[in-house]
Amino acid sequence: MKWVLAVAGLLLAVLGMDGSVAADLPGLTISDGFGVNIHFRHDPPDLDMIAEAGFRFIRMDLGWEGVEREKGVYDFERTGYDALTAGCVRRGIRILYIIDYSNRLYESERSVRTAEGRRAYAAFAQAAATRYAGKGILWEIWNEPNIKQFWTPEPNVEDYCAMAMEAIPLIRKADPSGVVVAPATSGVPHGWIEECFKKGLLAQLDAVSVHPYRPQNPETVVADYEKLRKLIKQYSPDRRVPIISGEWGYS
């Protein structure tokens, strides 16, 4: 009985005496900085659900090999990116496009390691930025290049930075209002990220993106962010560079 009365008391605290929800409860809103990762293109009803839920960002692969099937020819329309971009803009949703992955027209591995591959990747990035200029796009350079799953045969900081730093100036020229983020690491590998900073990558970024997956409690990310913030301050003392968590979850 005491337990029942306690629950009843809690309900009365939450509800008004007439059974209505108390006026001081927070609304069902999502902070502006939150978004969702998607894996579809075109303009499906899913975008309506995302917008109605209050999300204002989506993150999606902009797959190089699918768009450029013939050297120098980019098909953003039939691949569904034109429709997806227009649908998001119409709903007030900003897009973070991940410019990924390799293209077998230029590279044999799932990475970019040759001069021809770097030029081709940069040209693709420029074509995308030109097509969607002025639409508030966040441009992310690859996805998790620090792990073998996404950069083969082995992750290589030097190759990644060479590719990124060839593409970024062309992105900025094509879309001056766009936001460039990287290195989109798996986890928060401070040593790997610092090597990127040493090679000058931080100076070309608007934000540092990481995917802070971990087996520990989520609160442990605070220490990782603090250490990363110190690294950013060390290599960019006169400029405030935000940190973006582009991908993170538990199952």
Strands 35-37 and 138-141: unpaired
**CA–CA distance, 163 with 161 (Å, rounded to integer):** 5
* Superfamily holding 33-245: Glycosidases (3.20.20.80)
Amino acid at 127: A
Residue pair 235/197 in contact (Cβ under 8 Å)? The answer is yes
Average pLDDT over residues 6-29: 43
pLDDT, greater one: 219 or 2: 219
pLDDT in tens, 18-42: 444 445 655 556 677 889 999 999 9
The pLDDT assigned to 123 comes to: 99
Q: How many Cβ atoms from other residues are within 10 Å of residue 159's Cβ?
A: 18
String of b and e for 165-177 (b: at least 16 CB within 10 Å)?
bbbbebbbebbee
Q: What does the pLDDT average to over 9-14?
A: 33
- Has residue 13 got a pLDDT over 70? no
Q: Can you tell me whether residue 68 is helix, strand or coil?
A: coil
pLDDT digits (tens, 9 = 90+) for 218-244: 999 999 999 999 999 999 999 999 999
Query: Cis omega before residue 169 (within 30°)?
Result: no
Instruction: For residues 162-183, give the mean pLDDT.
Output: 98
Q: Choose between 55 and 4: higher pLDDT.
A: 55
Strand order in the sheet with 179-186: 35-37, 57-63, 94-100, 138-141, 179-186, 207-211, 243-245
**Predicted structure pTM score:** 0.88
Ordered by start, the domain boundaries in the chain are 33-245
Region at 175 (left for phi over 0; alpha for psi -120 to 50; beta for the rest) = beta
Q: Which of 25-39, 52-66, 84-98, 121-135 has the lowest mean pLDDT?
A: 25-39
pLDDT of the residue at 23: 52
Residue 175 has pLDDT above 60, yes or no: yes
Residue 151 DSSP code: S
In degrees and rounded to multiples of 5, residue 25 shows phi and psi of -70, 145
pLDDT at residue 22 in the model: 44
- 132 has pLDDT over 60: yes
- Mean pLDDT score of the chain, rounded to an integer? 90
Please tell me the distance from the alpha carbon of residue 1 to that of residue 58, in angstroms, as a whole number. 49
pLDDT, mean of residues 48-76: 97
